[in-house]
Amino acid sequence: MTDGSKLGADTGSSLVADRISDTVNETLPAKRPSLPEQSHRGVSKRPKLTAQDVQVARETAELFKSNIFKLEIDELVHELKLKDTHCKLIERVLHRLYDIIQEIPTSGEMSLDQAIDHFIQSPTRIVIPFPDPKPTSVNYKFNYEPPEDTSLVGSFGLKTGIQQPKGMVIDVALTMPKKLFQQKDYMNYRALYKRAFYLAYVAENLIPLAKKHHLPIKLSYEYADGDVLCPTIRIDSYLPESPEEDDLIFEKTSFSIRLYVGFPFGLFDAKKLLPDRNCIRVKSEETELPPTPLYNASILTSSSYTCYLKYLYTAKKTSEAFRDACVLGKLWLRQRGFSSNITEGGFGHFEFATLMAALLDGGGEHGNRILLHGFSSFQLFKATIRYLATQDLCHEGYLSFCSVIGEHKSVYKPKRGFGVPTIFDKNTKINILWKMTPSSYGMLRKHAQAALDLLNDVVTDRFSQIFIQNANSKIMKFDAVIRIPLSLVNQETDGFGPLEKISFLTFERYVSSKIFKLLSIALKDRVTQIDVKVSETESTYFSIIHRRPSAGVKFVDIGLYLDAAESEKRVTKGPLHSQKVEGERFASFWGPKAQVRRYKDGNVQYSCLWPAFGTESPTITIAKYILDLHLQPGISKNMVVNSTKFNVLLASPLTASLGSSHPLIIPSHFQELHSSYDSLCKLIYNMESLPLTVKSILPASSSLRGTSLLLPVPFAITNPDFFNDSVMQFETSTRWPDELLTLERTKTAFLLKINAALQNVSGYTSYLTKDNSIPYLKDVVTTLNVLTPEGHGFRFSVLTERDELLYLRSIENADAKQKPAVTDSYIKFMQKYIGSVKHHRAINGLVTRFPFFGPTVRLFKQWIESQLLSTHFSEQLLELIAAKVFIDPAPYPVPSSTATGFLRILNFISHWNWREEPLILDLSADDADSITGTYIDKISGKLTVQEHQMMSENFRKLRKDDPSGNHVQFFVASREDPSGKLWSSNRVGLPMASRVTVLSKIVVSLLSRSEGISEGQLRLAFTPALKDYDFVIEVKDPEDMRARSGVLPGDTFKNLVPSLTEFPSDVSKFEDPVQNYFSELAARYSNVVVLSTHRYTCLSDEKEGRANVITGIFNPAVVHGKKKFRANIGFNVRPTEDEHVECNEEAILQQMVRLGGDLVVSFKRYH
């Protein structure tokens, strides 16, 4: 071996020094391109085009996804680089540590009792970290001799270390000398006991020697990557009270050193330690003992630290970009919560790097190379991710490689999977993935597939989602999380006997595996992935005066990724009745729930039927049932399920959902509303008395697309969303008047005709109302309101092909002063007619595409409502923001539960810097909608790069004019609205936009801070902070609003609530007076005060359904400072001494309260 001295085959400090100096000297292989400086030459002012520039630009476009991606990767790698000063310091520390270790005296042979005695008498109070079971009587001796080899292993050795919040850990491996062992020591923990003694002895001697050598350190034990068989010493620096000059303190670097004790390579016969061998003999009635793969792998891993260091080092030397790719891989895994640690998936930097090295040596089915040495870091990373995503290393096959340098023998062996994730090294006989479980492997693949999709995206830059964003939030990662206290699972009754002990090593691992198996069978297609982990609350290391970490309170956390299309199904189907064997197995697995049912298709099948609760997903019901049945009776009472609590927050409707199998995702109310709507539309389409026939009626209502906050209950006329809007178009005609007001009057004439025709249809009531939503068209526009016999309300307005033209012409004709105002009216028109219809269609598509989109939006609206924000955000804007986490969910998968969807929305808002970032959405459905021939363009196909760029450009222009976002805060563009401001201009306002950001931040941090999500916290998240406002008017309706709004009062008996069966004679008398009061205040004072209220009084008051609040914040631009007096100043003023005026707040407040009259309960001024 030519570079043996460098790699650590020999002993000595030269090795450590060599490697460390290498770290410092070797700069990044991919230097940041040094472009303009060199090419200037100072001749011309404009940088001249050089061949080099073109070369770099061309190359990056080819080797990397795009220029920007390469630049971003360079920047990221640079950012993650360890600080040189830190490395230099740690280099000196390692030197000193090396010297200290050399000074440790030999111990002489000791028997077990002598060894234990030795430590009892030691002043350090150190305890030998023997693994379980503790040795009682052994017939061999313990001994310490200086290590055969001391080397730097792990990422610091490879110089792939990156900065981490918790600090970098430097791995140092001591190899025990050969002569301390016998051939058979791999059996029955013998080598492990010897190692434990060795480790404790090192620790004992390190303490006084470190002091002597001026290296103030503190020691603790830590299991290597969570492997309970392999304790290590963790060395941290600390600041002594009176530091001496020579003291080497590296506390500030936040580095720590981990001391491994390994066995010499090749000491034990690796064949006997293959994963299918048993190496722990226990007394058992069974003739054949089960294999001990974890034990075997642990011993082999301990003997091959330097072997892999060499292997990876060679890979790094042969492939220039290997190091950067390792850094990218490490960060990518970290952001998803993966590490080499058993409790964190067992796939970390080491496994990623080894996989890459193996793929550089082959890896295809015929040993063909997956990675080439000349690949860029991006290509290496992407190809490795693709390999992880597409090759099944668990069930279908495995990857075999050989860590002997120069033997390029990696090959994928299909059809020979072991049922456990496997990358097998023929040299060391280790399965590199031995720390993984089928569950964690499934998770890894899921992440890899998602990352691959992102890497293939050509439309947008996905850098941030792949590397920068953390995708490991406990509360947001999974669709549902079930938490079980581990202490409640009984070890004895649960079949954790001696045989299980040797194959699983720990009870935690055994339980996790059992739960995973149970749920995999029980939930089948309902889940796409199950993650079972035992969470530990305390830190990973423990004091050296204990043999093992104290048993803290532990929980089993079951994370589920649900399949939205399956998870809500109420039937679990089993084998056919005729299949006897399978049937019996089914019946014994499902216990009393199993039954035989006949289905419509004539099949007689074993099945289980689950109740529909509306709040709890059947999937959770099943999980609870099966764990009760097979894990521990009654355990479901102690389960904490996070998702269900969120579903409860949705208001329950007055009438129960009928005959629907999914009361949460598609309540029957929406279907009933639709059928009522359809029959009304049919009626209108068939009207013959009209001069022009109706060509199309397009809905634009949140209830008709299943996203309204309240469910549409028949005859619930107090519901603010009772009337559902629609836009009606007639057949094409050239005779529409060529002037705006007369055009509106003509429309009114048409509506009057329809109204007259409807009077003759029994059951329907209809009338026309004014619509003043478009400014400067006061008292001109009308709409037709229709009450159907089914108890629903619809409102129709008319759109013609001439409207838009006339608005545009008005803008053209307006003078410079009028232009903005006329444009405002045009925007309003677009919102009300064309925009809302397009929006409805797009969102409706999403509601069918993503089953949980509807309920998630409804919960999100409820939150906005509870925080007094719903008067500031249009429903459309809220729906679009919510759509973001469904159509562009990266770095997470598409949410499949209300809870996750909701939290991800809040998470998105809390991170969305809307001043600098646009939100560009691709709302196109996979199957384009089939409404054709309408005035509104058909949508189809995905967003193209050009469209995307055009929208970004719109945003850039907008912010150029208005950098702080005074006019448009949330820029939300889609093909339906490329301008991006249709739903957020003139409405939200800076203070409310900032408020929603702040509130979402608070809620996210509140809910992620603690372990489970408690009901109290959720309640808090849905409570408004009234003291933030300048003043609060508490109001109370004369009557309970709940039943009339279609909301079930929570505190009374259901049969006491009057049911709604018909319309009163005058519908308009049943509106919520508080809302009318608020509307008037808003109309009169919106230029002075930002007013807020709960739009749904029925939800704001749980006790009586009457109380509400109106809050206000004075507009500082208006209230503060003096203004020049002018007649049309527009708000209430008082004079100042110097002939100016200022806002007369007191008079305004008094008038506000006066308008409220008997509705007002109290008034409070906070600021």
Partner 1 sequence: MTIKQIKGYTILAVQLEPVEGKPKGATHYLFVKKHITKNQPESKTRSLFVVNLPVGASFNSMKRLLNNIALGAHVESFDACEYYDPDDIINYDLDINLSKLSNPDFGEEELPSSRNAPVGCGIVTFLDKDGMNLALSSIKKMVMSSSSSSKLPTWSLLPEGETGSARYLEKSSEGNVRLDSKELAKSVHIAMQDFEKREHEVQEELNTMRQTVDEDGFTVVVGAHRKTKSGVMGSLKTQDDLEHDDRYIKKMKKKEKKDFYRFQIRERKKQEVNDLLRKFKEDQERVRVMREKRKFNPY
User: At its nearest, how many Å lie between partner 1 and the CB of residue 148?
Assistant: 39
Task: Show Cβ contacts of residue 373 under 8 Å, excluding neighbours closer than 6 positions.
Answer: 318, 319, 320, 360
User: At its nearest, how many Å lie between partner 1 and the CB of residue 1068?
Assistant: 4
**C-alpha distances in angstroms, 424 versus 225, 357, 733?**
19, 13, 75
Q: Please list the alpha-helical segments (H only) found in 64-165.
A: 67-80, 84-103, 112-121, 154-158
CA contacts within 13 A on the Cβ side of 818: 12
User: At its nearest, how many Å lie between partner 1 and the CB of residue 778?
Assistant: 5
Residue number, 203 or 822, with CB nearest to partner 1: 822
How do strand 793-799 and strand 723-730 relate by DSSP bridges? parallel
CB 332 within 8 A of CB 462: no
User: What is the C-alpha separation between 402 and 358, in angstroms, rounded?
Assistant: 8
Residue number, 67 or 848, with CB nearest to partner 1: 67
User: At its nearest, how many Å lie between partner 1 and the CB of residue 1128?
Assistant: 4
User: What is the C-alpha separation between 1118 and 1155, in angstroms, rounded?
Assistant: 22
CB 1165 within 8 A of CB 1040: no
Side chain identity at 400, as an amino acid letter?
A: S
**C-alpha distances in angstroms, 125 versus 120, 220, 222, 229?**
6, 12, 17, 22
CB 143 within 8 A of CB 108: yes
Helix (H) or strand (E) holding 755, with range, is: helix 740-759
How do strand 1160-1165 and strand 1133-1135 relate by DSSP bridges? unpaired
Cα-flanking dihedrals φ and ψ of residue 929, to 5°? -65, 150
User: At its nearest, how many Å lie between partner 1 and the CB of residue 291?
Assistant: 40
* Closest by CA position to 672, among listed 693, 685, 655, 686: 655
Residue number, 484 or 1091, with CB nearest to partner 1: 1091
Residue number, 71 or 110, with CB nearest to partner 1: 71
User: At its nearest, how many Å lie between partner 1 and the CB of residue 821?
Assistant: 5
- Omega of the bond prior to 891 within 30 degrees of 0, cis? yes
First to last CA, the chain: 78
User: What is the C-alpha separation between 97 and 17, in angstroms, rounded?
Assistant: 12
CB 319 within 8 A of CB 162: no
Residue number, 683 or 1129, with CB nearest to partner 1: 1129
User: What is the C-alpha separation between 444 and 438, in angstroms, rounded?
Assistant: 10
Q: In 3-state terms, what secondary structure has residue 429?
A: coil
User: What is the C-alpha separation between 357 and 318, in angstroms, rounded?
Assistant: 10
Residue number, 655 or 718, with CB nearest to partner 1: 718
Q: In 3-state terms, what secondary structure has residue 780?
A: coil
CB 484 within 8 A of CB 644: no
Residue number, 162 or 294, with CB nearest to partner 1: 162
Side chain identity at 1041, as an amino acid letter?
A: M
Helix (H) or strand (E) holding 175, with range, is: strand 169-175
Radius of gyration of the chain (CA): 35
Task: Show Cβ contacts of residue 801 under 8 Å, excluding neighbours closer than 6 positions.
Answer: 732, 736, 935
Residue number, 272 or 819, with CB nearest to partner 1: 819
CB 493 within 8 A of CB 635: no
User: At its nearest, how many Å lie between partner 1 and the CB of residue 693?
Assistant: 21
CA contacts within 13 A on the Cβ side of 219: 27
CB 858 within 8 A of CB 709: yes
Q: For 654-673, give the DSSP string.
A: SS---S-S-TTTS-HHHHHH
Neighbours of 656 (CB within 10 A): 14
**C-alpha distances in angstroms, 548 versus 226, 296, 343?**
12, 21, 17
User: At its nearest, how many Å lie between partner 1 and the CB of residue 215?
Assistant: 29
- Omega of the bond prior to 177 within 30 degrees of 0, cis? no
* Closest by CA position to 1046, among listed 836, 840, 793: 793
Residue number, 309 or 740, with CB nearest to partner 1: 740
User: At its nearest, how many Å lie between partner 1 and the CB of residue 807?
Assistant: 7
Residue number, 61 or 545, with CB nearest to partner 1: 61
